[in-house]
Amino acid sequence: MYIALSRRNLWRNKKRTFIAVASVLLAVLVAVVMRSMQDGSYAYMIRSSVRFYTGYMQVQGNGYWENRSLDRSIVIDEKQQKEILQIPHITSIVPRLEVFSLVSFEKATRVAQIIGIDPAAQNNMTGLGKRLVQGKYLTNTSNGVLIAGGLADMLKAGVGD
């Protein structure tokens, strides 16, 4: 009885029914599109962060996480690198050494993260060389540093300083 009454009430005013149905459909469509955009944005942020920073896997020495000391850093030789590259879905190895330190230039001093890298391996993984605003990308024999634009502005440092 209630269903028949509801059906008659819906079709008694077709314009009102159409507006209500269209409103609900539009709301659902907008919600689905927004959720899809949100998922896509999250996936892109994760991919970008992982690609540019640590990758999906990070190898550390025993006890490093509890006591982050340079004394616990590890060196992976060529044989170990080849073994790691045999693991499915691992496409590259980028050795890094990370520390936090005070960085100064002239009268300005800031805290910064310093990352020692293998320039060729880092560039293959992240494409860092394409992102340079000024100067040249590092080589294995160069004695320079790359600094972020914000840090360069704070220190008032530039290429060649």
pLDDT, average across residues 105-132 = 86
Closest CA relative to residue 114, chosen from 77, 157, 151: 151
Per-residue CA distances from 92 to 50, 56, 57, 73, 129 (Å): 13, 11, 10, 20, 17
Angle between helices 2-12 and 14-52 (to 10 degrees): 90
* pLDDT tens-digit map of 88-118: 888 888 888 888 889 888 888 888 888 888 8
- Please determine, for residue 35, whether its predicted confidence score (pLDDT) is greater than 80: yes
Spatial CB neighbours of 102, under 8 Å, sequence gap ≥ 6: 109, 110, 111, 112
pLDDT of residue 23: 97
Distance CA 149, CA 133 (A): 8
Average pLDDT over every residue of 34-58: 87
Residue-level pLDDT at 37: 97
Q: CA 10, CA 37: separation in Å to the nearest integer?
A: 35
Tokens, residue 130: 């394409």
**Average pLDDT in the chain:** 86
Q: Look at the pTM and tell me if it is higher than 0.75.
A: no
Q: What residue segments make up the domains of the chain, in order of their start?
A: 2-52, 55-91, 94-161
